[in-house]
Amino acid sequence: MIEKDLLYEFSTFYKKEPRIFSSPGRINLIGEHTDYNEGFVFPAAIDKKIYLAISPNGSSKCNLYSNTFASTFSFEISKREKSGMGWPDYIIGVVDELIKAGHQLEGFDCVVGGDVPTGAGLSSSAALETCFAFALNEINKLGLSRHDLAIISRDAENNFIGVKCGIMDQYAALFGKKDEALLLDCRNLEFENFKVDFEDYRIVLVNSGVKHQLANSEYNVRREQCEKGLSQLKKMNPEINSLRDVSSNLMLMYEKKLDPVIYKRCLYVAEENERAVSAAFDLANERFSSFGQKLFASHEGLKNDYEVSCQELDLLVELAKESKGIVGARMMGGGFGGCTINVVESRYHDQFIKDIQKNFKKIAGTIPLVYNVSISGGTMEEFI
């Protein structure tokens, strides 16, 4: 067990007993690139998690050890600069946001690890941020709510890392519940839990193997394009305060009035928002086939209109479409690599994996990794 290994490593390293925290990666059933447009998303926390063993050390120094990367990093709380190493920045970023918000923090010793694959679109970064935000809130007794911690974590990513992400991943990690997905309204951050009772179906993630390097820069470009679209739409109709306010039908009326690329981006967002809400109700009413069609439609929109897919993801979705027992499939997360999410009838599950690995290898030359995930609870303290 990862948490037991961390406990052992921590005691060996620091010669004291830590507290242990965990925070999950996430899947997103549908509702992609809608969160920063005040729209709807439908994510769930999964049983792949970041674990953290941590203890305050009575100084102003933070000592980090990552057993995933087998590397250490230390920084002074008063000196919060980029590490140049990647992973520590998510932690320094969280500390930075807490300090900027006026909180007093003590230095700490920690060991961090976990099994959320990186670059797979499962939001290992939000899992890391929320795990630290939650743990630092506990060990420093800051009294922040889960909502506050989601904002702090999102801001760490926006300001320190420089990815202008929305709130979906941090919310999914902090508010996830076993066997439930949350239909989150990113305008007011209210959400409704939907039971994901997939007795006869399984969620299978297939990793394209492409690490989304383009993602950070292109992600910010998409966000700017949405903002540009919004400001033009607002000039024509002052009642539009976000792309969330524009239905796909209304969007069609603006086709000739917007730059074609901006139009495609905005149309996708309007359509995806509608799909996310109706897909959640499909699920609640066990209309699996209709739910699955929306996943395929979401992929088409992400590929053609939002243009955040890549050849390997498109290939995985095409291969999934040809498979027996497939309900729906699409790329998941920010895009440009990472995983597809597939909903497959349980009785065809093994066959699906065998075929997609074989057929992908024939064309792309590599065997894609497959993750079977179950929907699990959110960020918490672990008592071993």
Strands 108-114 and 71-76: unpaired
Task: Single out the residue of 94, 128, 161, 165 in contact with ligand GLA (rule: CB under 6 A).
Answer: 165
Cα-based angle 254, 188, 303 (whole degrees, multiple of 5): 45
Cα–Cα distance for residue pair 354/4, rounded to 1 Å: 33
Cα–Cα distance for residue pair 356/119, rounded to 1 Å: 20
DSSP state of 87: H
Nearest Cα residue to 34 out of 309, 212, 246, 206 = 246
Contact 375, 176 (CB under 8 A): yes
Closest approach, Cβ 10 to ligand GLA, in A, equals 29
Task: Single out the residue of 123, 130, 137, 298 in contact with ligand GLA (rule: CB under 6 A).
Answer: 123
The whole-angstrom distance between residue 233's C-alpha and the CA centroid of its chain comes to 29
Segment interacting with ligand GLA (CB under 6 A) among 33-41, 171-179, 321-329, 370-378: 33-41
Cα–Cα distance for residue pair 219/335, rounded to 1 Å: 8
Task: Single out the residue of 10, 22, 27, 35 in contact with ligand GLA (rule: CB under 6 A).
Answer: 35
Q: Which of residues 43-82 bind ligand GLA (CB under 6 A)?
A: none
Q: Is 169 designated active site?
A: yes
Q: Which of residues 298-327 bind ligand GLA (CB under 6 A)?
A: none
Taking CB under 6 A as the rule, does residue 32 contact ligand GLA? Answer: yes
Contact 120, 89 (CB under 8 A): no
Taking CB under 6 A as the rule, does residue 345 contact ligand GLA? Answer: no
Could you tell me where the beta strands, DSSP code E, fall in the chain?
19-28, 40-41, 43-56, 61-66, 71-76, 108-114, 180-185, 190-195, 201-207, 326-331, 339-345, 370-372, 380-382
Closest approach, Cβ 123 to ligand GLA, in A, equals 5
Smaller CB distance to ligand GLA: residue 35 or 307? Answer: 35
Smaller CB distance to ligand GLA: residue 10 or 42? Answer: 42
- Which listed residue (96, 169, 245, 282) is catalytic? 169
Taking CB under 6 A as the rule, does residue 333 contact ligand GLA? Answer: yes
Taking CB under 6 A as the rule, does residue 33 contact ligand GLA? Answer: yes
Task: Single out the residue of 127, 168, 184, 302 in contact with ligand GLA (rule: CB under 6 A).
Answer: 168
Positions marked catalytic: 169
Please give the residue ranges that form the binding site for ligand GLA (CB under 6 A).
32-33, 35-36, 123, 165-166, 168-169, 333-334
